[in-house]
Amino acid sequence: MTGQETATLNLLISPHNDDETLFTAYTLCAERETIQVVVVFDGYIQTLRGEPVTHLKRHAETLAAMKELGVVHTPIFGECNDAQPAWERVENLFRGLRSSFDPVTTYIPWQEPGGHEQHNMVGRIAERIFNRCTHYTTYSRTGKTIGSRVVIPEPDWIARKHRALACYTSQIRVENCREHFTRDMREYYA
């Protein structure tokens, strides 16, 4: 990796650029010096939808969002193709991360009934590979958010989350994504 001291780092697995901010911004604020964000997919599916957004633009948005949240470690971009997921590649990415980091805790998506298929599959694979997983809730296709523990943010974390979400201009412009950036800001862990 980068030669950083990684013995006490936690990992946060984000299926897509923006999921880490949408669903775990308060955790990132709390652990900003001890957490490494890993973004699995590259965002190429947007190009297939006819949206002129490159994976480099999505990377820049994530970097800006992490700066707003105060995360000190540069995100790792897995560069997996979200248009045609190769789950073996995702598994290999996770195995490499586990051997490089041996994280204390790995935050992974909860496999939600009716949830986003890629979020669920990333969560399943991560659960097999990483020890000491903590599941965070994303959202389900039915719009119902589930979870047993709500993260209570410090007052400045709310403003940080809003500023970080605003970094994702490529998503805010997409009609079916926009509502995720303006809805309920609570974060849940199952």
Tokens of 107: 């935050």
Does 5 reside within a domain? no
Of the candidates 81, 37, 83, 85, the one whose C-alpha atom is nearest the C-alpha of residue 61 is 37
Could you report the per-residue pLDDT of 136-187, keeping only the tens digit for each?
Answer: 988 766 555 666 678 899 999 999 999 999 999 988 887 878 888 887 777 8
What pLDDT was estimated at residue 145? Answer: 61
Do the bridges between strand 76-80 and strand 149-150 make them parallel or antiparallel, or are there none, so unpaired? Answer: unpaired
Does 4 reside within a domain? no
Query: How far is 147 from 140, CA to CA, in rounded Å?
Result: 12
What pLDDT was estimated at residue 27? Answer: 96
Does 21 reside within a domain? yes
What pLDDT was estimated at residue 86? Answer: 92
The dihedrals phi and psi of 35, each to the nearest 5 degrees, come to -130, 140
Does 157 reside within a domain? yes
Query: How far is 168 from 182, CA to CA, in rounded Å?
Result: 12
Does 3 reside within a domain? no
Do the bridges between strand 35-41 and strand 10-14 make them parallel or antiparallel, or are there none, so unpaired? Answer: parallel
| Domain membership of residue 93 as a residue range | 10-189
Say yes or no to pLDDT of 103 above 90. Answer: yes
- Compute the mean pLDDT over every residue in the chain, rounded to the nearest whole number: 87
Q: For the whole model, what pTM was predicted?
A: 0.89
Read out DSSP for 46-57?
A: HHHTT----HHH
Number of domains observed in the structure of the chain: 1
Query: How far is 26 from 149, CA to CA, in rounded Å?
Result: 13
Does 138 reside within a domain? yes
Decide: 65 and 167 in contact? Cβ < 8 Å: yes
What pLDDT was estimated at residue 44? Answer: 67
Supply the DSSP symbol for 40. E
Does 70 reside within a domain? yes
CATH, residue 156 = 3.40.50.10320
Does 1 reside within a domain? no
The dihedrals phi and psi of 15, each to the nearest 5 degrees, come to -55, -45
